[in-house]
Every structure is written in C-alpha cells, then in structure tokens.
Structure 1
Amino acid sequence: MHAQYAEFHEQLRRHIPEDRLISDPLRTLAYGTDASFYRLIPQLVVRVESETEVQHTIRLAARMHLPITFRAAGTSLSGQAITDSILIQLGDGWNGHHISADAKQISLQPGVIGAQANRWLAPHGRKIGPDPASINAAKIGGIAANNASGMCCGTAQNSYQTLVSMRMILADGTLLDTGDAASVAIFRNTHAHLLEGIRQLSQAALSNSELKQRIEHKYRLKNTTGYALNSLIDFADPIDILQHLMIGSEGTLGFISNITYRTVVEHAHKASALVFFNSVGEACRAVAQLKTQPVAAVELMDRAGIRSVEDKPGMPDTARQLPDTAAALLIETRAEKCSDLHQQIESIIHCLQPLETAYPVEFSEDALVCAQLWAIRKGLFPAVGAVRETGTTVIIEDVAFPVERLADAVTDLHQLFQRWQYPEALIFGHALEGNLHFVFTQAFDTAEALSRYEGLMEDVAQLVVHKYDGSLKAEHGTGRNMAPYVELEWGKDAYQLMWSIKRLFDPENLLNPGVILNEDKRVHLANLKPMPAASQRIDTCIECGFCEPQCPSRALTLTPRQRIAVWREIQRLENSQDHPERLQQLKQDYTYQGEETCAACGLCSLSCPVGINTGDLTRDLRQTYHASSPKIAHWTAQHFAQTTQIARTLLSLSDKTRNLLGETRMQLVTQGARKISGDRLPLWLPNLPKGADKIQTGVKPNPGKPQVIYLPSCSSRTFGADPHSPFQESLAQVTERLLLKAGFEVLLPDTLNELCCGMPYRSKGLPELAQVKQDELISTLKQLSQNGSIPIYSDTSPCSLELKSAVGADTQSLRIYDSLEFLTEHVVPNLQIRQAEMTLAVHVTCSTTRMGLGQHLIELAQRCAKQIVLPEEITCCGFAGDKGFNQPELNASSLRNLASAVQTCDLGVSTSRTCEMGLSLHSGVSYQSIVYLLDQQADPL
C-alpha cells in the first residue's frame, strides 16, 4: 500500500473497525472486480455500515486528496464501479425499506436487491419501475446511480421518472434528505452557492434554444450517455434538479443513501408469444405497429440470436428451419383482469395479421411456458459466453436508434460485424424503445485484437451518432467504456455543460474520477481485464456477479465470482512467472478465503447464466492440494459401520460430559482446547446431540400394504435429537412410524450401517473413494428394490441430491425420492393433518433448492402450522457437512440475520440434520426435520 493510503487507513481506523478496512492483495483484487471487462485494483476497500461512516470516509479522502468510488453489487458493465484508489463497499447495514400505507411509494436503502424490493411489493400488486436483466443481483444504489431500465420499464418508469425523494451525501460530506423539509431548509442556507450554480446551469440550458432542443431531442430515446441534462429543463427548483442529476451520475456527484420511488402496477394476468418473421425488416415493421398496442414488452432477436438458443427448453423445433434473414419478437401483454387480457391478445394478433409471420401467432398464459420464453430471451447474452474461446471476454454493447429506422440499423450493425470479423456477434434488444444490445467475444492479448476492437467501436460510434443520431449508451451507463465518445454524441455545448456540473458538485474531481467524463480518448482501451484459462470448470464465467446473493460466504470471505477472479489471477501469474511474491501470497491466502470457506453448496449454479458450480472448482482444488489423508479416508470407507459407531460413542460421551460439567463450563473447556490446538479440534456446539440409537434393519411389517425402502443417511444414523428440542426420538424412529401410519411396509437394507452415498468423500476431494461407496450403495438398492420396482425414501436432502445425480446417469434407474417428494406425493394423501397453533420457521436447504423441491417443504409446513416464516436472504446455511464444526464462522456469517427474522417462531423445520444444528444454534429456535411435526400433527385416514 502506498504511503498516502497507509496514512488514510491509519486515520480511518478511528471511525471504522479494522476488520472492515481491507488492503490485502487477495481481497482488494476480489472485491475490486465488477462485471465489466476492465480491471483496476483498489489500494483500500472500506466496508461501510452507516451514513456517518460514509461521511467520515468522504471527508477524510477530501482532506488527503484521494479519489473514492462507491460500489453496490458490481453488476455494471461499462467500468463505472472499479478504482485503483479507495473503494467504498456496502456492508449489511443498507437493507432497510419502508412501504407507504397505499403501497404507491417505497423507500429503499442502496443495499436492497431490486428483486427483493419487488418481493416486498408483490402482496400489494405493485413493483418498482426499473427492471434491469440483473435485477436478481443488482442493488438499488447501482440501479439508481446508473438509471438502469430493462425490458418493460422503457423511459416512463425508470429511476429518473419514478423518483420521489432521495437522501444523499455530497462531495463535502454533507447529508441532504430531499424528502425532509427541515433538511432541505438547512441545505438551502449552507449550500446556497451550489444551488445558485445549479440554477445558473438550468438557465443556461433553457436560454440556449439550440441546446434546449438538443436535450429534448436526445431524450426521445433511452439515453444514459453523460449526465441527466434533461433535469436542467424538466425542473425549476434546484433541489429537484440536484436529485435528478444524481440519477445516472454513476457515483461521480455523490452517494445515494436512500431513495423513495413511486411504485407501478404489477398486473395479475400476463401472456407471452414468441413470433417469428422471415426478415428483420418485417419484424421491425411489426414493432412499429405494436407501439400502438397494449404491450408491456417487445424483445427483438436476430437470426444469430435465435440460433444461439434454439436448443433451449420452450424453443419450437421450427426455429431451426428459419432462413438466415429471420428475426423474432418476444411479446408480453399484461392486464388486471383476465377478460381484459384476452381482449388485448385479440387486438395484438389482429394488429399483426397484415404482416407476414413465419408461423401463426400464439400467445400463452401458462406461467411456466411464459417463464421458459423469457428464459430464452435472457439466455442470449450467456449463450455467447458459454461457447466463447478460452481467454476471450464477452462484450455487450448498448445502443438506441429511432424505432422507425430499426431495420436499417440492424442491417448496418451486421455489416460492421462482417467488416471487423465478428461472425459470432448477435443482436437483441428492447425493440419498443429502439434499444439494441449486441454481444460478441473479444481477446485483448495482442495489438491486432485490440486494434480490431478499437475499429469496431469507432465505427459503431460514428454509425449511431452521425447516421441515426441515436444513443451510444441506452441503459448500461457511460462508465469508462463510452466516456471518450460523450462529446461526439452530445456536441461541444452539452459536453461543456456536463463538465460544469461535475466541477460544481465535485471541484476536486475525487468522486469516481474518469467515469462519464474523461479527457483520455483511449481510456476505453486501457486497464482491460485478463481472462486466462484457469479451469474447465470456470472458464466460461463472464464475472457478471449474478451468483453473489446466493453465496453463504459472501459476507465472510469471497463469493463465487470473486473466487473465480482470484483463481484466474493465480493461474495468470503461474503461467507468466511474473511477480512470484504476489503469486505466493495469493495462493496462501486463497486456501482459507477461497477453498476452506467455500460451502460448495452449488446454489451459485442456479443463478449463473452459464450454469457454473464454483463448488466443483473447490472440490477439484481439495483433491489436488488439500485432500484428507488417504489412509484414514480409506479405512473409514472400508469400516463405515465402525466409523459411525465411533462417532455415536463420542457424541454420547460428550453428552454425558455436558451433563456432568454443565453447558457453560463445557463450552469454556472445549473452546480453550480448540484454541490451544490452533483450531484443529472441531468446535463443540451447545446443541450437539448425543449419538443416535442403532437402527434395526430388515422389514417393518405392514401386511398387504405397498412397500417402500427407507434409507436413513449417515448423519441421521449418527446424530440423535437436539438436547433442547421438544422431540427426543431419533429421526429414523419417527420416519418409520409415519410411513407405517400412512400405510406402507418399510424395508431397511441389512447392510445399512456400511452404506454411504459418497458425498462426504466427494466434498473432501476424494472422488474415487466417493464413487466406490456410491457404487456399493446403488448395487445394494438395485437388489433390494428389484431393479427399481420398489420406491426408495431418502431422509436427508443433500444425500437425496447426490443419489439422484448418480442414478440420473444409470441405465437401470432407481426410483429415488427425497423425503419431501415422497411425503407430498405418497404420505400426505393417506393422512389427516391438523394445523397446530404455532408460528413455524422454514429453512429450505441448498440441496432442496437445487432439486426444485422448496415449495414442497413450504406447503408441508403450511399444512402443519397456522403461520410460517421463510426468512429473507437466508440461502445455504453454511454448515456444509462438517464446516459448522471446523469453520464455524462460515455458518455464523451465513445465518447472521436469522435470529431477528425468526424471533416470533415456536419451532423450525428443515430436511438436513447438520443444517438443523447450525440453524438452531444461530436462531435460538429448535429446528428439526419436517417429519417430526408432520408425525405429531397427522392421523391415519
């Protein structure tokens, strides 16, 4: 760290705890990575938790003349969220919200994810206006700071148009709340000079008729190039102008600490249609017709785009037969009433009848079908990423043209792709707004590749500006990517006006300098992110950050995106043999930050556009570098019954010692022992159960009833009940009773105590040993089930997922049911269930989510209890098999907000014994398998 920054760090420690001031090489690289194809590594990352901390940081940076950049989710694509100076990152303290009584307004802190805001508003039939494709990961701070829009919001419902009020912190550290009359009154007195400057800029824009017309003309289209000059002519009060200038300012004018939006209607009824045309021209003529129709969205896909997703679920086979000139429109219409929706569909179809479509127009109201169609559209960007050459990056550009000239614009772009040799490039976009995205792959490793990219971008700029007078950035923000072209698009007068705004708000040019406005005409070609080959598991990663909200270690160490970014850098340094000291430090730090604290839960794969499971990389690394002792592992595999018996004996001994010493003294003794061992000893938990009773195998008779094979997992066979739980029987005892009650004869394998699905070995980097145990189990189950004739009930979700994955590729497939599936489909129909007067906390495990069974657990819980609570933002619990004992901080971090979320609950339910231990520990609520409650509340029919 440079001396200046070391001094800044030292002084900032007086206001912010040391653990939130991050300067080590690994985390500055990881936390400094965003979704763009640029890289700058910050000197210091400051994780702030309050407005006061932001103010302290801004004021100290101003005194020391050090630049700062604000970061929300880092999903931005144009290089606006990176810095080589000070990066201010949002901590946990920015997730507040308030919905007005009529739900027509919502106040949001900048750390709220856009999709979460919509979940809060959904019961009221409302949503926020902006709907970027990244809404499941993007945070409100970034959505507002970039004026992000999306497929349906257009220009009428973006942040600029739906803004009510804002809390902000300016370059001098002043806090202004435009929704608070007292705050505004004080600000008018203390910042009269700033407000007068804004008034003068507004007057300059209004009095210059040519400039005023230019501003009006530019915003006839989507436009996020430069500052929001329309605010200077749309509003008279400098306070209104000020807050609207903050929208789309990309952190260059101040920090948005809270924003109040006017919400918009979320219609109850929707229908979608994917309409094919034999030519782009005909598709664009259809767009012009659809402008007059009740459509919520019209998305254009060119032939290359259709081809890239023609194998996706929901895409008709006929798409493969389209000519090379073809295009498609994905159309959505929405209404409050079903009857209105049907009328709208008829109107749209009638509107399209004069046009030549490749196939008849068919709308679907089926939510699953519609979801498939929109998944196809959203898959266009990653479709290119998934097939790109290793070492290249994926670039998505974002331009807007007049709608009436859309067909010509698409043709011109295709010609540019041919000229600059980008055969894989495809075009899609929000056709109603004339907003087109084009996606292509790019290497930056040679001067020739860089020159080719520069040539394409120069030609695109000339085409958009001079031929069409369009927007070079419609919704992705200017960033560094388009900063050299702002003057070209806007002209000299408007460009100088933007500089006047920047100097007025930030005279020292310390807030995100170089973003939006930059005198370096080649800044878009500098600081390009390397994308070296690192592992086949992760090479297709486009570093978009969509995975991050799902990761249990996101607040402790790294997210999947950050793990991949660091591992790529490690591989780059190993290949280049540059900076050996840096390489050694990164590898050393990655052991804990990247590998040991990865839960390997796989949730990242569900939100990843290209389906990457970063846990697979972690398991590969454990196999290569950190695999458990093979001798011990082989012994446990060969003597599995003895291993579980030893574990049960130790658990029972621990329980007796707890009873002898008392819980408090036991905890002190074990914590001391763990500390002396250098954390090599596992953590003792206050709710650690005694060993489970040995399960009696064979047949549990129920003559004349259908049979089911019950497969208790090794954790169910090892861990008894939580000593604090109201239920003290083992899971196996309760499960057997419930199955018998529901009218089944229960079979348990005679060799049960030797069996294991292999997951514990696979997670430790021992895939060969895992396969041996898995093959042994499958062979036993085939024989017992008569090659799949008898269904198999698995009582632990992680084991169910492991078995389903293995059996899925097996030619003699077994009928493996997770407990939730079998209970829902075969047990509950045979029972009468009474609802208990209780509030129930529900935890959907990561394995349950990956199997798509979360709704099953929720519905079972609703049958058993009057009220349920499904805590927000709790994904994987982070217990991860044995990590709750060996890296307990991962479990604690993942569940850090659980206790407050479930404080009104009487009991918790889940479907994994080890997960339930961690959940109970960090919530103060006893979590057990849903089977316990179902058994308690159910009677035979």
Structure 2
Amino acid sequence: MLTVPDERPVVAALREALPPGALRTGEEIPARNAQDWSGLPPVRPLALLLPTSTEEVSAALRICHAHEQPVVPQGGLTGLSGGAHPVEACVALSLERMSGVEEVDAAAATLTALAGTPLERVHEAAEAAGFSCGIDLGARGSCSIGGNIATNAGGNTVLRYGMARQNVRGLEVVLPDGTVVRSLNKLIKNNAGFDWTQLFIGSEGTLGVVTRVVLGLHPRVADRAAAMCAVPDFGTALRVLRRLEAMLPGRLLAFEAMWDDFWHYATVLAGVPAPMPLTAPLALLIEVSRAAGEEDVLENALGTLFEEGLLADAVISKSEAERRAFWAVRESPAEYPRILPGLLPFDVSVPLADMEAAVAELRAVLAARWPGATAVFYGHVADSNLHLVVGPAPDGRSPKGVLEDELYAVVARYGGSVSAEHGIGLLKRAYLPLSRQPEELALMATIKRALDPRNILNPGKVL
C-alpha cells in the first residue's frame, strides 16, 4: 500500500480500499474540483475521489461514514448556488468517471445511464433510438445527468416535459453509510410502497449519492420551428401563451421571455447577432414541434395573433441555423461571467398573474439600491421562472451581499420561490425560510437526520 507521511487516517483508508488512480490529494487535485460555477472562492478538498463504479462509491462512503468525514458529491460542477462547492477539509466525490448510457429500452421508452454521463450524451443516445429526452438546459454539454437529478434541474422544455422529477422512473443511490439502494424501475405504474426515489431528486447530494438513473423518454420531435416575437408587456405575453396552447395543443416546447434590457445586453454589449430589431419592450422566443410537411403551422398561428393585435413584430426560423441563432440570444448569459465579472445571478419563481408587478418592483429596488448598474431580466416564464442578472456598479463594486435581502423579500411578498431551478446550496440557505414554512423545514431536518445522522454528506448545504 502506498502511504504518505502524516496522511490522515481516513485518506489512508480510502487509498487502501480504492484502486490506483481513484484518489488524489494536494497538487494532484485539478483546479476545477475546487469550485463550481457559484462564484464562491475556491476550496481545495482534503482529497478527491474518482470512482468508476457504484461499488467503489459504496466503499468510499462506508469509510467516510466510519471516520465522520465530510463528503461533497460533484457532477459537472455547473451549479450556480454552491451545491457542489467544496467545504473546508472535505473529501470531494466526483462522478465524472462513471459515465455512459447503459441501455435504451425502446419497448419501455426508457434510458438507463450512469450518473456522471453528460446530459448532451443522454440526448444523443435518445435521439439515435428515435426518442427525445425531456430534460434540457444551456449547460447540456457540461452538466451531468446525476447532477440534473440531484438538483431537480429545469431548463428550456419544462413547459412540455416538466422538471427533472417528472422524467425519472428509477434510481440507484448510495446512502451516507455506503448502503446501496436500487430501484431501476421502468414501469409507469408502480404503487408498491413508498416511492423513496423522490427523496433524492432535488436533495442536492445531502441525503445520498445518485449513481444510476432511469429516465422516461418521449416521442422524438420530428421537426421544430421557432419564432422571435415582440410584445408590449407581460400581460400580452401571457395572452399569447394561452392562445398558442389552445391553437397548438401539445406542440409548445418553449416559451421564453427577454425584456429589452436583456436584449440590449445580449445583442449589443455581448455581440450576439439580433434576429430582428426589438420594436417593443418584451421579446418572446417561442418553439413548437411539427410534423414533416407542416412548415406553416407556426406561421398560421402567429398570423392569427397578429390579427388579434397581440404581436408587434415577429420573425420565424426558416432553417435549423436560424433556429439556433434565436437560441443563441436567449443562451447568451453563459458568456456573462466572462464579459461581466462580479455579476450576481438570481433564479426565482413568481406567480404568472403577479409577474409584471414583481418585475416593476424589482426594478424599483435596483434603481434605489444599485443605481447605474447593469440589470437584465429574462426567463422560462411559462413555468413562472424569472432570471435576473445584476452587474457591478459604475464604480466597479460588486452587488454580492448588497441586494439579496431586498430582492428576495419582493419575491416572498408575491408568494414566489427563492429558487426556481438552481437549488439552494450554500448561497440561498439563509433565504430558504422565505419559501418554506417552519414545519416543512423541520420535516426536511428530520429526513436529513434519519438518512445522514453523522451529517457527512454535503454538510451546510440546503439546511
């Protein structure tokens, strides 16, 4: 056995139990594993574990549990709330080597994959078998399917397919003491006792480590059409949404809103080509599914909306390249950290009936507390999800630690959620009581104590 002078007993035990190359310490740990996308200062873990199987994850957690060693599970490290960010003296457990689609069952319309599989590979496997995966987000090339499940990821197609939770049929999970629980269920109907898998979806790695996922797949979308539209206000946008749902039942894949400040930042400051001049305060990106030969289905629907006076302008994609160009505008925030250092992203939900009033109030708070700073509003608003990115003040000061209290208070007054799809992690832990009742928080704590009595899994996250 290779030993290192003054190595902690838990690290020595892990080194002995795991195969060569599965444990790294010190300078061997890549910089990427010291942080996620939350913007928190990097923290080098005590050790980095790189298992290649569920059995190795089980062995590692059994040892860490015996030594009461904190463990932080890591997937693609694309989270924005600090859920996968290392804590002091922790062991980081990366699932990156547990990657691969193991099966696509065409009869059951399911896909089974290891937790470290990038979401993009899941999509490719589903498409190759004639299906579609219902989970999709801008970080699809970097995020992992296990991380998507652990955070109950949302994204671009929640309107059609629901959050990650609605797409999961079965899971394999390793508990904090190393116990493996497995329900790789493919059945749509299965009422045999408690559905324990639901506990781990959205738990952000605080209750167990997801190692395998069974997803329910959907019929493959034969073709997609997208439109970029301009409307005068959010009330009109909501009317457009409901009219399209009535005219194209089951066809609406995405309904994204971008306020004029976002449009200006994306197309002028970030330099993404504008599909059209924005002639109204709000832009909508609409995407629908269509069968072969239905090239005019979206055009006809939008024509009706023009006749009803709901649209100020619109342009429809005529090719896949144009459709992707529309999405490039909407997905431009991926570049914001590079061109806008020190930004503060907000991911909240607000009831649709109150969205316009809430945005106005949020703008008023920003004008009073952070005058002259960049602020852009956008989101997957059909599912109540509003994103807000606030940049540094003109003098370069960062908004972090200045605006959270007041902006989250506005969301709470409207009965919204402080986290729509990014999770709680470290950054939103203090604000969770704004969205959850004391009894709910107490129940969460009871579940955490029952499954992780030594508090070794992702300590300090969520609760």
TM-score, normalization: structure 1?
Answer: 0.45
Asked if residue 441 in structure 1 is aligned to residue 388 in structure 2, the reply is no
Cα deviation code 1:183-225 (max 9, x no counterpart): xxxxxxxxxxxxxxxxxxxxxxxxxxxxxxxxxxxxxxxxxxx
258, 265, 282: which one pairs with 1:327? 282
Identify if the C-alpha distance between structure 1 residues 363 and 306 changes in structure 2 by more than 3 Å, giving closer, same or farther: same
Identify which of 101, 104, 107 aligns with 1:102: 107
Tell me the residue number matched to 1:24. Answer: 26
Deviation at 1:269, TM superposition (A): 1.6
Cα distance in 2 for residues equivalent to 1:252 and 1:71:
12
- Report the counterpart of residue 310 of structure 1 in structure 2: 267
User: By how many angstroms is 1:282 displaced?
Assistant: 3.5
Distance 1:424 1:58 in 2: 44
C-alpha displacement of 1:81: 0.3
Residue of structure 2 equivalent to 1:650: none
Which residue is 2:76 aligned to?
73
Does the 8 Å CA contact 1:288/1:404 hold for their aligned counterparts?
Answer: no
Q: Distance in 2 between matches of 1:101 and 1:48?
A: 30
Secondary structure of the 2:382 match is helix
Q: 1:510 aligns with which of 435, 456, 459?
A: 456
Q: Structure 1 residue 314: deviation in Å?
A: 4.7
3-state DSSP class of the match of 1:459?
Answer: helix
> Contact 2:256/2:286 (CA < 8 Å) preserved in 1?
yes
State the match for 1:216 in structure 2. none
1:262 alignment counterpart: 216
* Identity value in percent: 24
Query: CA distance change for structure 1 residues 24 and 348 in 2, over 3 Å: closer, same or farther?
Result: same
Distance in 2, Cα, partners of 1:57 & 1:112:
20
SS at match of 1:60: helix
* Structure-2 residue corresponding to 1:7: 9
TM-score normalised by length of structure 2: 0.89
Kept after mapping to 2: 8 A contact 1:41/1:82: no
**Is 2:12 the counterpart of 1:53?**
no
Aligned to 2:309: 355
Task: Classify 1:374/1:291 alpha carbon distance in 2 versus 1 (closer, same or farther; 3 Å).
Answer: same
Which SS does the other structure have where 1:88 is aligned? Answer: strand
The alpha carbon displacement at 1:509 in A equals 1.0
TM-fit CA distance, 1:173: 0.9
SS in 1 for 2:439: helix
**Which of the numbers 313, 318, 343 marks the counterpart of 1:394?**
343
The 1:480/1:237 distance shift into structure 2, 3 A limit, reads: farther
Give RMSD over aligned pairs: 2.7
In structure 2, give the amino acid aligned to 1:116: R
Alignment of 1:850-869 (within 5 A): none
1-side partners of 2:104 and 2:94: how far apart? Answer: 26
**SS of 1:436 mapped into structure 2:** strand
- Corresponding residue number in structure 1 for 2:435: 489
Q: Does residue 113 of structure 1 match 2:115? A: no
Q: 1:47 to 1:26 in 2, by over 3 A?
A: closer
Using the alignment, how far apart are the partners of 2:309 and 2:337 within structure 1? 34
Distance in 2 (CA, whole Å) between partners of 1:56 and 1:144 is 22
Q: CA deviation at 1:462?
A: 1.1
Residue 4 to residue 28, structure 1, CA distance change in 2 (3 Å): farther
Higher-strand-fraction structure:
2
Specify the SS of the correspondent of 1:310.
helix
Higher RCO (CA 8 Å, separation ≥ 6 residues): 2
Report the equivalent of 2:326.
373
Distance 1:29 1:367 in 2: 37
2:203 to 243, 249, 254: 249
Whether contact under 8 Å (1:103, 1:126) holds in the other structure is no
Whether 1:127 and 2:132 are equivalent positions in the alignment is: yes
Which residue of the other structure, out of 80, 83, 93, is the alignment partner of 1:88?
A: 93
1:500-541 deviations in whole A, cap 9, x for unaligned?
111111111111011111xxxxxxxxxxxxxxxxxxxxxxxx
Distance 1:15 1:377 in 2: 47
| Whole-Å separation in 2 of the counterparts to 1:155 and 1:465 | 27
| 1:239 CA displacement | 3.9
Q: How far off is 1:27 after superposition? A: 2.5
For 1:515, the aligned partner's letter is K
* Runs of at least 5 residues in structure 1 that lack an aligned partner in the other structure: 182-233, 518-941
- SS in structure 2 at match of 1:99: strand
Query: Structure 1 54/35 Cα, relative in aligned 2: closer, same or farther at 3 Å?
Result: same
> Does the Cα contact within 8 Å between 2:132 and 2:221 map onto a contact in 1?
no
Q: Indicate if the aligned counterparts of 1:381 and 1:396 stay in contact, CA closer than 8 A.
A: no
SS in 1 for 2:296: helix
Provide the rounded CA distance (Å) in 2 between the counterparts of 1:47 and 1:126. Answer: 31
Shift of 1:25: 4.1
- Output aligned runs, 1:693-704, within 5 Å: none
Q: Aligned partners of 2:217 and 2:144: how far apart in 1?
A: 16
Call closer, same or farther: CA 1:50–1:124 in 2, change over 3 Å: closer
Larger Rg: 1
Q: Which residue of 2 aligns with 1:765?
A: none
Structure 1 stretch 72-81 or stretch 257-266: which is displaced more? 257-266
Q: Which residue of 1 aligns with 2:352?
A: 403
Number of paired residues?
Answer: 448
Q: Tell me the equivalent position of 2:411.
A: 464
Which amino acid is the alignment partner of residue 71 of structure 1?
Answer: Q
Letter in 1 for 2:257: L
**Cα 1:488/1:431, change in 2 over 3 Å:** closer
**Aligned-partner residue type, residue 475 of structure 1:** E
What is the one-letter code of the residue matched to 1:170?
Answer: L
Any idea what SS the aligned residue of 1:309 has?
helix
Task: Provide the residue aligned with 2:293 in structure 1.
Answer: 338
Give the C-alpha shift of residue 411 in structure 1: 1.5
Distance 1:514 1:290, change over 3 A: farther
SS in 1 for 2:316: coil
SS in 1 for 2:435: helix
Deviation at 1:499, TM superposition (A): 0.9
